[in-house]
Amino acid sequence: MAADRHAGGRPRVLPYSALGELIVAQANRRGVHLDQVAADAGISYPTLSRILTGRISSPRMLTIVALADALGLKPERLIVPQRRRTG
pTM, entire model? 0.76
Please write the tens of the pLDDT for every residue from 18-30.
Answer: 888 899 999 999 9
* Residue/partner pairs of 29-32 with CB below 8 Å, 24 or more apart: 30/71, 30/72, 32/71
Q: Which residues contact 23 (CB under 8 A, 6 or more apart)?
A: 34, 37, 48, 51, 52, 67, 71, 78
Predicted confidence band of residue 37 (pLDDT cuts 50, 70, 90): very high
| β-bridge partners, 5 | 11
Q: Residue 29: CB partners within 8 Å, gap ≥ 6?
A: none
Which regions of 1-87 does DSSP assign to beta strands (E)?
A: none
Residue-range domains of the chain with CATH? 16-73 (1.10.260.40)
